[in-house]
Amino acid sequence: MDTFGVHSDGEWGMKMGIHKTFFLSGVIAVLFLCSVGNAIGDDMPADEAEALNKAEVPAPKSELDNLKAEWEAVREQQVQMIREKEDQLEKLKEEIFSKMKTPSKPVVSTDRVEFEAQKAAFQVERQKFNEEMIRQKENLRQSQVALDGKTKSLNASTASKDRAELEAQKAAFQAERQKFNDEMNSQKESLRQSQVALDGKTKSLSASTASKDRAELETQKAAFQAERQKFNEEMIRQKKSLRQCQAALDAKNKQSKTSQSRYKRYKKKTAH
C-alpha cells in the first residue's frame, strides 16, 4: 500500500486504463454503428430510378452476408474485450477489498524510491494507452473507408425489391446498438460503485494518516481529483459527440424515407 492509501500508482494506472479502455471500446462500437446507419440512409442517386425502370438487378447476397459477418466479428470482439475488462475489474476489486480488511499502517514518507518507481510505471501505462488509442483510431478509419465503399456498391446494385431486406438489417443493427448501450450503462454503474468503495477507503485512510504525511497525501489526492475531472470531461465530450451522431442518423433516416416515397411515386407514374 503506497502513500495514497488505496493502491500504488501502477495499480491506479491499471484502473484508469480499464476505465479508458471501456470507454474507448464503447466509442468505437457506437461510431461504427453510426457509420452503418449513415451509410444505409444515403439517398438513392437521381439517375438510378431510370436505370431500375429498364432492368431489375438482383442484390448481391454474398456482399450483404460479408457485411453482416464483418459486423458480427466486430461485435464479438467488443463483447470479448468487455468481458476481459470485467474480469480485470473484479480482480482489482478483490485486491482492494482484501487491503481494506488488512489493518492500516502509518505511511512512510521516506520511501521515495518506491514512489518514483510507481510513478514511472504509471507513465508507462499512460504511454501504452495513448499508443493503443492511436492504433484503434487508425483501425476505425480503415474500417469506415471499407464500409463506405461496400455500402456505395450495394446501394448502386440493389433493386427496390430488396429495400425491405435492407430495412430489416438496419433494424437489427439498431437493436444491436441498443444492447451495446445497455451493456455500457451496466459497466458504468459497476465502475461508479467501485469508485464509491475507493472513495470510502480513501477517507478511512486519510483519518488514520499521521499529520506529518498530510501534505504528501493531499498532493496525491489532488492528482487523483484532477484525473477524475479529466475523465468526467472526456465522458461529457463523448456524450455530446454521441448526441450529434444520433441527430445525424435521424436526419439520414428521415431523408431515406423521403427518397423512398419519391421513388414509389416515380414507379407508379412510370407504370401508367
pLDDT tens figures, 192-229:
777 777 777 767 665 655 555 677 778 888 888 888 88
pLDDT: which is higher, 102 or 104: 102
- Could you give the number of structural domains in the chain? 1
Confirm whether 34 is domain-assigned: yes
Residue 255 lies in a domain: yes
Range of the domain at 52: 9-267
Distance (Å, rounded) from C-alpha 185 to C-alpha 178?
11
Sign (positive or negative) of CA dihedral 141, 16, 79, 176:
negative
Sole residue written with cell 503506497: 2
Query: How many Å is the Cα radius of gyration of the chain?
Result: 26
Q: Of 62-66, 73-77, 158-162, which range is least confident? A: 158-162
- Rounded distance between C-alpha atoms, residue 188 and residue 211, angstroms: 36
Looking at residue 45, its pLDDT comes to 47
Asked if residue 159 lies in contact with residue 52, where contact means CB atoms within 8 angstroms, the answer is yes
Mean pLDDT, residues 63-85: 81
The secondary structure of residue 6, as a DSSP letter, is: S
Top pLDDT among 154 and 209 is at: 154
Record the cell numbers describing residue 205, joined without a space: 485512510
User: How far apart (Å, rounded) are the C-alpha atoms in residues 231 and 81?
Assistant: 20
Tell me what the mean pLDDT of segment 162-177 comes to: 75
User: Which residue's C-alpha cell is 453482416?
Assistant: 68
List all residues 6 or more positions away from 93 whose beta carbon is below 8 Å from its beta carbon: 194, 197
Write down the pLDDT at residue 3: 40
Where residue 114 falls (left for φ over 0; alpha for ψ -120 to 50; beta otherwise) is alpha
Any domain includes 134: yes
- Measuring CA to CA, how many Å separate 53 from each of 47, 102, 158? 10, 78, 13
Q: Report pLDDT for 19.
A: 58
For every residue of 11-60, DSSP letters joined together read: HHHHHHHHHHHHHHHHHHHHHHHHHHHHHHTPPPPTTHHHHHHH------
Cβ contact 201:100 at 8 Å: yes
User: Across residues 154-178, what is the average pLDDT?
Assistant: 70
pLDDT at site 111: 66
Q: Is 3 domain-assigned?
A: no
Q: Where are the alpha helices (DSSP H) in 55-162?
A: 61-101, 112-157
- Structural domain contains residue 115: yes
DSSP letter assigned to residue 160:
G
Indicate whether 2 belongs to any domain.
no
pTM equals: 0.25
The answer to whether residue 4 is domain-embedded is no
Confidence category of residue 59, pLDDT binned at 50, 70, 90: very low
Residue 43 within a domain? yes
